Structures are given as structure tokens and as C-alpha cells.
Amino acid sequence: MGIVVQKFGGTSVADPECIKRVAKKVIQCKQQGNDVVVVVSAMGRSTNQMIALAKEISANPSPREMDMLLTTGEQVTISLMAMAIEDLGYKAMSFTGGQAGIMTDEFFGKGKIRSIDTQRMKRKLDEGVILVVAGFQGMTTDGEITTLGRGGSDTTAVALAAALQADVCEIYTDVDGVYTTDPRVVPEARKLDFISYDEMLEMASLGAAVLQPRSVEYAKQYDVKIHVRSSFHDQEGTIVREVSKMEKNVIVNGIAFDTRVAKITINGVPDIPGVAMAIFKRLAKENINVDMIVQSNHKGELNDISFTVSTSESKMALQVMEELNVELKAQGIAFDDTVSKVSIVGAGMQSNPGVAAKMFEALAEADVNIQMISTSEIKVSCIIARDEVQTAVKALHQKFELERK
Amino acid sequence: MGIVVQKFGGTSVADPECIKRVAKKVIQCKQQGNDVVVVVSAMGRSTNQMIALAKEISANPSPREMDMLLTTGEQVTISLMAMAIEDLGYKAMSFTGGQAGIMTDEFFGKGKIRSIDTQRMKRKLDEGVILVVAGFQGMTTDGEITTLGRGGSDTTAVALAAALQADVCEIYTDVDGVYTTDPRVVPEARKLDFISYDEMLEMASLGAAVLQPRSVEYAKQYDVKIHVRSSFHDQEGTIVREVSKMEKNVIVNGIAFDTRVAKITINGVPDIPGVAMAIFKRLAKENINVDMIVQSNHKGELNDISFTVSTSESKMALQVMEELNVELKAQGIAFDDTVSKVSIVGAGMQSNPGVAAKMFEALAEADVNIQMISTSEIKVSCIIARDEVQTAVKALHQKFELERK
């Protein structure tokens, strides 16, 4: 058949028994006539254990040495996985990122893949060897070992699938696929057979973190078909791929939500050019990720600017804003870290007016107050009180009839 | 000053506290004006833990994958050590074997160093960087990761010292240096200031395993001065180096002993050419290391052949010999795994007749029976009953007045 790239995360390879189980799954794919490339993460919590070890040595270890340390985690898994496959009588060979030809730039801790030299991998695949590649890592042209930063092993898998022109990139996970919303909140939530890259991106970055956003972007760019599926059984999961115009008749495909949101407002800043820039440049300098931004004008000369950040960065953001409040001679900071974001996501939204209104209607019917609104081409997000998230998600799921196919 | 290579074993880097302590020692050497290259082993028992992990996966893992697995141990240590040095305000950089330019042949699990490309290391030393190199590992020209097998990190240190033309290769250990014999057996045992490569080889392979024999051979070949010293204090240890003819007046430098010895005798084999070859070729085929061999003739036509092996291989050797007994129509096998070897070692021995006689005299005076004798240019070894080892070593130490400088 063709080439299949399979990616297994840390929990799927947490101990020798898990590794043996994955090895069987890999061989099953090989037996079906495919050339198989397996991408694995570090075992279980080993990466976290290594980070803790580094912290015992130094409060601020250099990124180069952190990469040198952390890449050993995946190297352990690839060797054990190759052994497990060989033990079952199949040819296997482990590859570090560098050995797999994954060349990155020089940014330790957040390397970006520059190119992949597939020569050696292709030769080995032709010899019938199952390749086991370390996720999350690459090498510079100087032979320096780098990690890919966020998205790690998912990105490795998608990049390899792109470079090898694989038929599919299978991402094995502990859920059955991508759901219309979190089944723990809405029991009627339905597993999607298909989802577009853009929808997946919105779903992923909104908290339904099945796939790392960066890997989805990569897949979209190189047109790699991703199959998100369970590592516990053989049933089909969700296929992430480009949708044709024809298929865009599904207006809303899913309800995403994120409860780790804090809202910050700076009141009464001057309505002159450069103020917003001053605020968000300062936040960026502190490496704070700002999500939604809303600006409203009052009294014609002063603005209120509200934005949301992750609760993990909210303390830091608040501190920066208190400073800015003084510098900009504003009228005070409002802070609320008990909010959440609820979003409807759907590629068909852009050609269907009235979708946002329908969302607001559903929330109003459920007596949920909307604090902020933000829209993009394929999603509408609302900030609401955190204790109303469940009510809101249920109401939206029902309103858009997502339990029905 | 010059270049100093320092090697620290697994127990010296067993945990973060140990690593920080070693970092200080390294920096001290740097502060004295030296360019410093540090070679480290895997932390504590981590290599054994990884071997156990592999065994859970496969009873017979491939050597390539074992090397892929085990080399992560040293990679963890080099990154942590570099972090610890940087944390104290000095420039440091970790190097895997491959990054350090250590090129080996393709024999996984027992790679031999072919060459070392020192360009990058020299450039970094010129920049004032302390280099931290992973012991025990190298890389093939294909980019395959190999381990050096026995001698591991000591060999890496000596090879780097040779390639970089270092002033000295310091091997840090948990003892103060090389002693005339084991101080636990003879309290009067004296630390030697100097010892020749050949003497060290005899001492090392006879059980006083401070240095791996292979690294000593390497040091002799490339004339690398080794300084065996304690990692717990700053006192001088023992220098291993070539001795001039002038210095060879010390007749006996040390008493070595090995209690893990078994003796096997095959009685009454035909006195014809090829018999010894048949026996020892067969043992070699089973990878059994034979140490002393003695052949004696009786009745003019039949020979008795005795040899010693390590107790760890004695069961296997016995089995092979039982088979040979039948094949060669010999008159039976005698087996004794309660013996030990005691040796006197000294480079001056070759030009001083009567040394062996003095040894036998000492043993006779102590009422110790000698079962086998073997001599080389710089040592005389005797096989005796294991429960007489202590008596024998004490008697010899006294006879040769080793407590006196």
C-alpha cells in the first residue's frame, strides 16, 4: 500500500507493557502491507522528571543544555520500541531526530524544522524496516541537538508524513477522536468523522487539545491527512483534512470552551494612536499570550480596553497592567479570573449569516450573560462567567443540533 | 598552563548534589589557568536500570538499540554537569561522543575509537569554555551511535587526553590512588606515588580495578600521563606513566590478588600436537576468558592441563570441559572454585633474579601451599586456597618491605 506515519504519546509508551502493546499495533499496520514510520514521545512523566532534575542543578539552565537533557527521553523510548518490534520478529530501527534527517534552525527549546532529508529513511523502508523516530527533536547543520518546542511529537509526525508523502498521519491518543464538544459536559456530544484543518485549529487552541495547533498548521500547509484515533481499540477516529466548498454546508461543527481564562480591563486610557500598541507590546515583551481583545469608547475621548489571558499568566499580566495604569494615567484596572470562553466553530459559518445571532439567542434563553464577544471567519467566542460554562455549552450543543449527524 | 582532562565515574555524579560538587572541582582546575575537559559517566546506577528496562522488553535486544538506549545515560550527565558549571558563572558546553568528534568502528556495544577530530573542542577551549564530554560513547561515519564497551569512560578520557595532547588525564575515584596492595587486607599498605603502565596493567587486571586495563593500554600507547586520585579531597594520588631504566630499581611495587578464580584440570590427555589448541579454541568460542594455563606431563605420553577462569564463567567452562573430556578420551576433569590468585608485580623484576624464589619462600614461611605458578616479565602469580589469601598477601607485603618507601 503506502506509507503510514503513526504517533504515540507519552502515556501510550509509559512502561514496558505499554511499549509492547504499541509494538503489536505497529506490526498490525505493517502486516496490512504498509510501510510504517512510528514517532514516539518520552515515556510517561519522564520529561517532567528531567525538568525537575535540571531545576535542582540550576534555577535557569541554558536552553542548549535543556535540549541536550530532554532529548534523551525520546531516545530511550525509540530504542525500547525498536527492541519490542524486533522481539516480535520484525525488522526495526530507531532514529534520533538528527539521524532521521530532521534539520532545524538554531533556536534551542523552540527549534523550527527547516528540512527533512528522507534518503536514509526511504532506503530503510524499502528494506522492509519499521522506522522508529524520536519525536520533538531535530539537529542543526552544526550537529547541535534541538527540541521543537510546543507541539513536539505531533509536529514531528506530521512533518515526516509530509516529507515522506505518507498516505496518512495517525495520531494515537486516549480519546476516540474529535467530538462536537467535551462529552463529559454534554453526554450527547458526537464524534466527528471529519473536521477541517481550520476548524481543528480553533477547536485545539480553545481547549479541546487533542492535537497540538502547530502540527495542524503544518498539516494544513503540506496537505497531510491526519487521523486522530484511540490507542485502545481499532475503531476509526476523526480525519482532519481540507474540506471542499461542497462540504461547507455544515455550519457549526463543534462547541469549544476554555475555563482557564482571566479578563483584564484598563479603564479610561486616552483615545489617541499608539495606546493599544503600548499596552500589547509590553505584554508581549513579558511573553504573555493575549487572546481576545475588545476596545470600547466612552465619553468620546477615553477608551476602555479589555483582553483575556490564560489564568497561568494572569498574575503577571495584572502586574504589568498596574504599571501601565500609572504610566498611561488611566483610570484603573479591573481584573476577573473567574471567567471562561465558549466558542462555536464551523467552516460553513462564513457563508451563513445569522450564526452569531443564533448563538447569542441560545445563551440568552439559558440566561447566560455575555461579557465579551469576538469573531473570526469560522468561530464566534463569548466570555461568560465560569460557573455558567456547563449550561452554556449544553444550550449551544442543543441549539445547533450537534447530537445529530 | 595546559590542557587537563578530568574523568568522573558514576558514583561521583550520582545525584544533583554530587554533580554540583564535581562542578566546583572542575572550576577550581580552570581557575588554576588550565583548559579543562571533563569526561563523565552515567549517573549512579542508571545504566543498570536501563539494562533492566531493556530486559523487560526483550530477552535479547540488538546491540545497536542497546547502544541507542545506554548512551542516553551519559547524555543526561553531561547536560546537568554543563548546567551546574554555567550556574557557577563559567562557560561550559556539553558534547555527546559524536559531537566531540570521537569516531568509532561499527561494532555496537564494543566500539573501538578510530579517530578523534579535535577541531571543534580546540576552538571552544580557546574561547575559555569548559568542555563536558559523554564518556563510553562514539559515533560511526554513518552517524550511528556506539558504545566503547569495557573500559568505557576511562578510555574516552585517555583518548581525549591523547588527541588534545593534554598535560595529564585525571581519573577521579573513591580511593586515594594505587596502593601496594588492598589496605583492607594489609593496613600497612602504602599509596604509590608512581607506577608504570605495565605494572598498572598487571595490578588492574588482577583485581585492584582502579583503572580499566584498556584505558591503561591506550595511555601507554599514546604516552598519556594518568593521575589516579580521590574525588573527596585535593591530595595527590598516583601517577601512571612510563618509567625510565633508572627507575627500575624498585623490584616489587605491589601485591595484587583476585579471589574470583576457579581452577579446572583435564587429566590424561594425549601428548600430541593440537590438543591444547582444541581445548582453548573451544573455550574461546564460548567467550570464556582463560587466565593462567599450566601443562604438566606424566608417564611420558599423557598430559594434565590446568587453567583458571573467573568464577562467573566457571560453570560454563566446566560444561565445555566435560564435553571435551569425552571427545578427547581424557581421564576426567578436576574442578575447584575455592581458589585465589596472588601476584607480585614490579617492573624491576626482569633484571633481578631470585624474586620468584623470594615469593615462594614467603609463602612457605606462612605455610601457604602453592597450587599453580605462572610468571611474566613483571609479575609472578600463584594459585592458592582462597581462605589463605589474607595470610599470603600480608606475608608477601612484609617480605618485600612494601610499607617502606
Task: Supply the CATH number for residue B293's domain.
Answer: 3.30.2130.10
Q: How far does A50 lie from chain B, in Å, by closest CA?
A: 9
Q: pLDDT (tens digit, 9 = 90+) per residue, B194-228?
A: 999 988 888 865 545 678 888 898 899 999 999 99
Residues A163, A287, single domain; the answer is no
Distance in angstroms (rounded) separating the CA atoms of residues A130 and A83: 11
Confidence band of B285 (pLDDT split at 50, 70, 90): confident
Contact B54 A93 (CB under 8 A): no
- For A111-131, what is the mean pLDDT? 96
Rounded to whole angstroms, the Cα distance separating B305 from B331 reads 11
Contact A231, A173 (CB under 8 A): yes
- Is B299 exposed, middle or buried, given 0-12, 13-18 or 19+ CB atoms closer than 10 A? exposed
Supply the DSSP string of A18-34, one letter for each residue. HHHHHHHHHHHHHHTT-
Query: With contacts defined as CB-CB under 8 Å, which chain A residues touch B78?
Result: 68
Is B248 among the domain residues? no
Question: Would you state the pLDDT for residue A205?
Answer: 57
Q: Residue B220 to residues B213, B224, B226, B254: CA-CA distances in angstroms? A: 11, 7, 10, 19
Cβ pair A82:B75 closer than 8 A = no
Nearest Cβ partner of B68 from A20, A75, A143?
A: A75
Here the ipTM equals: 0.81
Query: Which of A6, A41, A10 is closest to A26 using CA atoms?
Result: A6
Phi, psi of A329 (to 5 degrees): 55, 45
Domain boundary (B142, B173, B204) is at B173
SS3 call for B3: strand
Q: Is residue A388 part of a domain?
A: yes
Is B66 in contact with A79 (Cβ distance < 8 A)? yes
Grid coordinates representing A298 are 466612552
Residue with cell 538554531: A106
* The last residue of a domain, from among A107, A138, A173: A173
More confident residue, A62 or B295: A62
Report d(CA A309, CA A70) in Å as an integer: 28
B165 and B285, same structural domain?
no
Domain count, chain B: 2
User: Is B223 within the bounds of a domain?
Assistant: no
- A164 shares its domain with A285: no
Residue that is written with C-alpha cell 461579557 in the block? A371
The grid coordinates of residue A104 equal 532545524
Q: In chain B, whose CA is at the least distance from the CA of A18? A: B57
Identify whether residues B167 and B18 lie together within a single domain.
yes
Residues B142 and B7 in one domain: yes
Kindly state whether A25 is in contact with chain B, defined as any CB-CB distance less than 8 angstroms: no
Task: Name the pTM for this structure.
Answer: 0.82
A28 is a domain residue: yes
B146, B173, B200 — which closes off a domain?
B173
> Taking CB atoms and an 8 Å limit, are A75 and B93 in contact across chains?
no
Yes or no: say if B80 and B22 are a contact pair by the CB < 8 Å rule: no
pLDDT in tens, B100-141: 999 999 999 989 999 999 999 999 999 999 999 999 999 999
Buried (b) or exposed (e) across A276-297, using 16+ Cβ within 10 A? eeebeebbeeeebebbbebeee
Task: Judge whether A232 lies within some domain.
Answer: no
Q: Are residues A162 and A267 in the same domain?
A: no
**Looking at residue B333, what is its pLDDT?**
95
The CATH number assigned to the domain holding A151 equals 3.40.1160.10
Closest residue of chain A to B76, computed from CA coordinates = A69
Average pLDDT value for residue range A211-237: 90
Contacts of A58 in chain B (CB under 8 A): 83-84, 86-87
- How, if at all, do strands A168-173 and A226-230 pair? parallel
Task: Examine the domain organization and report whether B133 and B269 are in the same domain.
Answer: no
Sort out which chain B residues have CB atoms less than 8 A from A43's CB and list them: none
List, for residues B364-386, the tens digit of each pLDDT value. 999 999 888 888 878 889 999 99
Nearest of B70, B17, B63 to residue B47 by alpha carbon: B70
Q: What's the rounded Cα separation, in Å, for the pair A346 and A255?
A: 9
**Would you state the pLDDT for residue B209?**
61
Q: Is A21 on the interface with B (CB under 8 A)?
A: no
Is A59 near chain B, with CB under 8 Å? yes
pLDDT averaged over every residue in chain B: 90
Q: How confident is the model at residue A124 (pLDDT cuts 50, 70, 90)?
A: very high
CA distances from B88 to A59, A60, B13, B16, B91 (A): 11, 11, 17, 14, 9
Q: Domain range for residue A273?
A: 255-399
Q: Which of A277, A255, A264, A283 is nearest to A371 (CA)?
A: A264
What confidence tier does B299 reach under pLDDT thresholds 50, 70, 90? low
- Same domain? B139 vs B17: yes
pLDDT at B277: 85
Task: Say if B185 falls within a structural domain.
Answer: no
Phi-psi map region of B177: left, alpha, beta (phi>0 left; psi -120 to 50 alpha):
left
Asked whether residue A196 is assigned to any structural domain, the reply reads: no
The predicted structure's pLDDT at residue B245: 61
* Domain assignment of residue B92, yes or no: yes
